[in-house]
Amino acid sequence: MDAMTSEDSSEDTPSLAGLFAKSQIARQLSHNTPLFTCRSAEAPIMQGLVMGGEILRQCPIECPAPVDEMLRYHVRAIAEQYGVPVILHTDHCAKNLLPWFDGLLEADERYFELHGEPLFSSHMLDLSEEPLEENIEICVKYLERMAKISCGLEMELGITGGEEDGVNNEDVNPEDLYSKPEEIYQVYEALAKIPNGFFTIAAAFGNVHGVYQPGNVVLKPKILDSAQKYIAEKIGEKEGSKPVSFVFHGGSGSDLKDIREAVDYGVIKMNIDTDTQWAYWSGIKEFESKYHDYLQTQIGNPDGPEKPNKKYYDPRACMRSAEEVTVERMEKCFEDLRCVNVLGLGPPEKPENVLGPRRGGLPA
């Protein structure tokens, strides 16, 4: 869990140690990309899964055993190959998905018994649509259980606008897009009491999922600052302290200024999904336009009617292109978050096994 937290957030010091790139693992075939970027940028990362992701959709809600196996062999094994620490996380879980959450926790507890750590490093509970008291009550109940196996909880407060994973909040009351310091304190007070409990709060400060026309989204990171001040005073901590670890949902399309401000006010994790989806797609789009004439038939291209096109339509070729653009987008993200070169891993030993041109493949 240490990769996720950082005390210092002054200008020069990289302050943010969490980036959440869920699209890579759950939706795309390429789950190596974020780990590669994490290694090359020496930046901390969280990989998350969503209930709507293909891997999980194949599993019955009550039975996360296949997930257990898959993740153990995928992310865990790959992370070891790259030599990078990865925080494994699950994203938004609303009240109707609690049976899924229970199944995951059972898998965590089984894994903990065997290995002394949970299968997932943390989970998110999104009960923001329920009354605040109920949201807090359920979070407390789960965090008490999770604290025993060193598993972190991310909870959501207020509403993240926009649309994602089939949840549409495009027409919510604008007021619900901004959390109040008193509400954040209520959550903090209840969760901070739990021994060994590690939690983060995804408070709403105007965030939306997705990317919209400029002007449609008004982020107010100052809300996080006011909450920190309010809570520090309530619990008797000195001025300038940041008792709450915040999460920034809907990082895609955000201004650098807002990102940096949010980090300064105690955001330790930013989610990015839409922009990495776009990056991945852009790579495929660019590949198609570059090799269009080689991608129309199995045989026959501008070099001759008998020339085979296998190496162009091999899906790994366009996926490679997709990965390259995704890596660029993620590198920018790490920079925005001031978390490049913070892991101290040194240069990777064999970077050629990931993004270099494949044997017999197209030039990068």
Stretches 16-24, 33-41, 234-242, 244-252: which one binds Zn ion (CB under 5 A)? 244-252
Which residue's CB is nearer to Zn ion, number 242 or number 249?
A: 249
Beta-carbon contacts of 131 under 8 Å, excluding residues fewer than 6 positions away, are none
Using CB under 5 A, which of the segments 10-18, 165-173, 222-230, 248-256 binds Zn ion? 248-256
Tokens of residue 66, six digits: 């296949």
What burial letters (b/e) apply to 241-252, b meaning 16+ CB within 10 Å?
A: ebbbbbbbbbbb
Q: Is 91 a catalytic residue?
A: yes
Position 39 contacts Zn ion (CB under 5 A): no
d(CA 125, CA 177): 17
CB of 249 to Zn ion, least distance (A): 4
Contact (CB, 8 A) for 127 and 94: yes
Nearer to Zn ion (CB atom), residue 170 or residue 288: 170
Residues 93-112 that bind Zn ion (CB under 5 A): none
Q: How near is the Cβ of 273 to Zn ion at its closest, in Å?
A: 8
Only one of the segments 56-64, 69-77, 127-135, 246-254 lies at the binding site for Zn ion (rule: CB under 5 A); that segment is 246-254
In the chain the first and final C-alpha atoms are separated, in Å, by 36
Q: Which amino acid, one-letter code, is at 139?
A: C
Which among 134-142, 218-226, 242-250, 299-307 is the span making contact with Zn ion, rule CB under 5 A? 242-250
Using CB under 5 A, count the residues that bind Zn ion.
Answer: 1
Contact between residue 224 and residue 270 where contact means Cβ atoms under 8 Å apart = no
Closer residue to Zn ion in complex, CB, 27/249 = 249
Distance CA 29, CA 160 (A): 27
For Zn ion, the closer of residues 267 and 343 by Cβ is 267
Closest distance of CB 331 from Zn ion, Å: 22
Shorter beta-carbon distance to Zn ion: residue 31 or 249: 249
Q: Quote the CA–CA distance of 57 and 166 in Å, as a whole number.
A: 13
Q: Residues 328-337, buried b or exposed e (16+ Cβ, 10 A)?
A: ebbeebbebb
Q: Which of 134, 152, 135 is nearest to 143 (CA)?
A: 152
Q: Are 359 and 320 in contact (CB under 8 A)?
A: no
Nearer to Zn ion, 39 or 89 (CB): 89
CA distance 23 to 31: 9
Catalytic residue among 91, 126, 258, 336: 91
Which residue from 249, 260, 269, 320 is in contact with Zn ion, where contact means CB under 5 A? 249
Residues that are catalytic = 91
Q: Which residues of the chain form contacts with Zn ion (CB under 5 A)?
A: 249
